[in-house]
Chain A
């Protein structure tokens, strides 16, 4: 039996405040969300049950379940939902309600590092060094590519290219195919020596100010370089 007096629904109220179009009460409990959600059943939950917990004011369960980290905020459920409910957005808000010290430490750390420059935490100088080192190696060893370029901080280049931090950090040779493609096409492009990472893990910790901070830094950097296009590589 549901104890109606016990319904506090503080979490629901907070979400509705943050996301005026959350439409939580629109749920028909049809289950279309569940049918296409690979996270269904994990931690005993699925998108529909998750929304029920919210509606029924089971705030403690909502704030404690780690299902919010098995839901990848992929929005497949929103795509299927006849009422347009965005459960991914709700999960995002709930992630943000967790105190930082209770969040998955590696995820929070990825965002904290991101706010300094990039998600793996390698120094910007190392990025520049790796790019130049790999470039030099290709130019020396592959005669057909002796004029290959990988410009950094080239003022006024038409295209700005970001670089997922995984490559310079663990698989630098994976940067080369794209350089070759850009070379053949002949576009005028550049990396930046700061805010160069293509990822942004602050999208997943639940703090909008962190997410906005990183995007703002990237935008300022690209505008300062005067690039017309920002190419995202993933």
Chain B
């Protein structure tokens, strides 16, 4: 969880020499720099994507900058026209209801009731795929989708980046991968 480390280092003044960064920022940077080549050519069906902005990464972490990076990556991977914005979004987004230890705490009915706002919000986009870049969000969004009978697929972002990778021919002998 991004916030656990970010705020932990800050609040408890924990000495460290490294710089703390998010994989989402790096994906965006690498695509912009041309180090990570992706194409949406695979998406011939025009699968529609939307996103869950994780509270811990966006509102409590890097703010709207990382939310914009997240959208940039999804659009590069799925196609500009295949991203459907969710409302409200970015720092103003609703929590999925699975964070804060709710998935572990065991009040299942309360957790699903909390998740109804998220379900309605995501269902309204009509997207086929919901990208959840946080594990708590992933588990909760998957659960409320099945509980309230939604019909989207809940996935991490990396699966689609892998799908969209533009590979040089790495299979030939003697070529360095």
Q: Which of A69, A105, A181, A231 contacts B22 (CB 8 A)?
A: A231
Q: Which of A79, A180, A214 contacts B59 (CB 8 A)?
A: A79
Contacting residues of chain B (113-147) with chain A, CB-CB under 8 angstroms: 113-118, 133-135, 139
Q: Does B9 contact A (CB under 8 A)?
A: yes
Which residues from B are CB-within-8-Å of A143?
171
- A229-B21, A230-B5 in contact; A72/B102 too (CB < 8 A)? yes
Interface with B: A9-17, A36-44, A47-55, A121-129, which one? A36-44
* Chain A proximity of B77: nearest CB distance (Å): 11
Decide: A215 and B161 in contact? CB cutoff 8 A: no
Which residues from A are CB-within-8-Å of B11?
208, 212
Q: List 26 A-B contacts (CB under 8 A).
A: A41-B113, A69-B105, A70-B102, A70-B113, A72-B98, A72-B101, A72-B102, A74-B55, A75-B55, A105-B106, A107-B106, A145-B177, A176-B162, A185-B35, A185-B36, A200-B5, A202-B4, A204-B101, A205-B101, A211-B8, A211-B12, A216-B12, A229-B18, A229-B20, A231-B21, A233-B23
- Closest 6 interchain pairs by CB? A72-B100, A204-B101, A215-B8, A74-B95, A200-B4, A38-B117
| Interface of B toward A, CB cutoff 8 Å | 1-5, 8-9, 11-12, 14-23, 26-27, 30, 35-37, 54-57, 59-60, 88, 91-95, 97-102, 104-107, 110-111, 113-118, 133-135, 139, 156, 158-159, 161-162, 165, 167, 170-171, 177
